[in-house]
Chains A and B, each alone.
Chain A
C-alpha cells in the first residue's frame, strides 16, 4: 500500500531523511518511533504530499508522489497534533466544508455516521472553539475519515491530551484500524502505541534503523528494542 525507496529530504544544507526505505502492506498498523528531531513529522508530511521530497521514489495505493499527488490525497486521511479545523465554525459546518472539498456524496448521512463514530453527535451545532482539546482531536479524526480513506497518517495524535482523552482517542484509533485501513502513526510515547500497532519501526539519523512485529516485541519488550535500535543506529 505504501512503498518508499531511497527517500532523501534536505532543508538547505541539513539532510533530515537520508535514503530512507519503508514499506507498509494493506491493512497494517505501523508505529513510527524515534526521538524528537528524528524526521518523523517530515516523513509523514512528505507521505501526505505537504512537502516535496528532494530525491527518492514514493508510491501510495499505486500512485506516485509528487506526480499524482491529487490521486494520493483522495486516498489519504491525515491527523496531526493540530486539529486542522476552524474554530469559528460548528462541528457540523467543519465536516460539511471538508466533505465538499473531498466531494463526498450523500454528505448529510455520512456526517451523522462520523459524528456518531467520534461521539460528538450531541455537540454537532457547537462552535469548535468551545470544544476541549480532546474533543477537537476527536473531530479531527472525524474529518480525516469522512471520505473513508484507505490510508491513515497520524502525527503524534496524543500530544496535549489528558488521560481520558487519550483513552478515548485510542478507542477510535482501534476502530479506525479494525475497519481494515492501513495506518502509519508517529509517536515517541512507547506505552501508548504498544497495544495499537502491528509493527514498530524506529526512525533514526534519517533512515529506518530497525523494524519489528508486535508478536516479537512481547518477548523482548518494546522499550528495550527501541533503546537498542537507537544505540545501534
Chain B
C-alpha cells in the first residue's frame, strides 16, 4: 500500500505556486464569487434584507407623519437604522449558510491564510449591502419626497457600509458558533459599530442639510479611521475567532 513515486510526482504537479499576493487575491475572489453565485440562485439572503429594509422605511413613514422640514432632519437617522437592521439580517444569514452545512470547515481546511475567508465574506456582504441600499434610496426618495441623489451622500453610505460590514463580518463569525447566534449578533455588533453609525448619520445629515464641508469633514475622517481600524483588527484576529 506504499504510495508509488509517480503518484508523488503527480501530486507535486498538482499544486500551483503563485506569488503570495496573487494567491491571496485569487482565493478572496473565489469566495466572493461563490457567495454571489449561490445567492443569485437562492435569493434567500437578498430578498430577506430587501423586504425587511422596505418594511422599516414604510413603517417609519406612517409612524412619524412628519412635515417636510422635519423629514429632512430625520432622513439620515431613518436611513442608517434601516441599513443597520437589514445588514444584521444579511450578516447573520451569510455566516449561517457556511455553518449549517459544515461549509465553514471546508473553507478552514483550505491551505490559505484564514484572513482570505474574512475578506471574501466581507466583500460579498458589502455587495449585498450595496444592492439593498441602491434599492432603498430611490424608494425612500419617493416615499419621503426627499432628494437623496447626492454624490457626497453616496460616498458617506459607501464608507459607512464598509465600516459596518468590516466589523459585522468578524462578529458574525464569532456569533455563528453559538446556538443563540440570531440574538447574539446584534447584541455584540451594535455597541461596537456605534462610532461608525454615529459618524455616518452625522455626515449624512450634514450633507442633506447643506452644511459646509469643514463641518462635515471631522465625521468623514472619523469614518475613514474607523474603517481602517476595524479592517486591520479583523485581519489580525480572524484566525483566532474561527478556530476551536
Contact = CB atoms under 8 A, between A and B. Distances in A.
Nearest to A74: B111
B3 A85 contact: no
Contact of B11 (A49, A85, A148): A148
Given A70-B113, A97-B34, 13 more contacts: A26-B2, A51-B244, A85-B101, A85-B103, A89-B34, A97-B33, A100-B27, A101-B112, A102-B111, A103-B17, A103-B23, A104-B14, A180-B2
What 10 A-B pairs are tightest by C-beta distance, nearest first? A180-B3, A82-B102, A84-B106, A74-B111, A88-B38, A100-B30, A51-B244, A101-B110, A27-B1, A73-B111
B7 interface: yes
Given A71-B111, A102-B110, A180 B243 contact: no
A165 B198 CA distance: 56
B16 interface: yes
A86 to B, nearest CB: 6
Given A93-B37, A97-B34, A105-B14, A50 B244 contact: yes
B7 A179 contact: yes
Nearest to A181: B3
B127 interface: no
A50 B31 CA distance: 19
A110 interface: yes
Nearest to A99: B30
25 contacts: A28-B1, A49-B108, A50-B108, A50-B243, A70-B111, A73-B110, A74-B111, A78-B109, A84-B101, A86-B101, A89-B41, A93-B34, A101-B107, A101-B110, A103-B16, A103-B27, A105-B16, A148-B7, A178-B1, A180-B1, A180-B2, A180-B3, A180-B7, A181-B3, A182-B3
Contact of A84 (B8, B11, B102, B112): B102
Nearest to A198: B1
Given A103-B15, A148-B14, A179-B7, A48 B109 contact: yes
Nearest to A149: B11
A82 B243 CA distance: 18
Nearest to A144: B109
A74 B4 CA distance: 19
A206 interface: no
Contacts, number: 122
A80 interface: yes
A123 interface: no
A202 interface: no
Contacts of B15: 74, 102-105, 147
Q: Is the interface of A mostly helix, strand, loop or mixed?
A: loop
Interface in A202-229: none
Contact of A86 (B1, B26, B38): B38
A150 B103 contact: no
A86 B8 CA distance: 30
A133 interface: no
Contacts of A32: none
Interface in A147-165: 147-150
A178 B2 CA distance: 9
Contacts of B150: none
A26 B7 CA distance: 13
A22 interface: no
A177 interface: yes
B18 interface: yes
B70 interface: no
B1 A50 contact: no
Given A104-B16, A127-B41, A50 B26 contact: no
B69 interface: no
Nearest to A46: B244
B105 interface: yes
Given A26-B3, A86-B38, A89-B34, A98 B103 contact: no
B180 interface: no
Contact of A88 (B4, B23, B41): B41
Interface string B30-45: 1101100111011000
B16 A101 contact: no
B96 to A, nearest CB: 13
Contacts of A45: 244
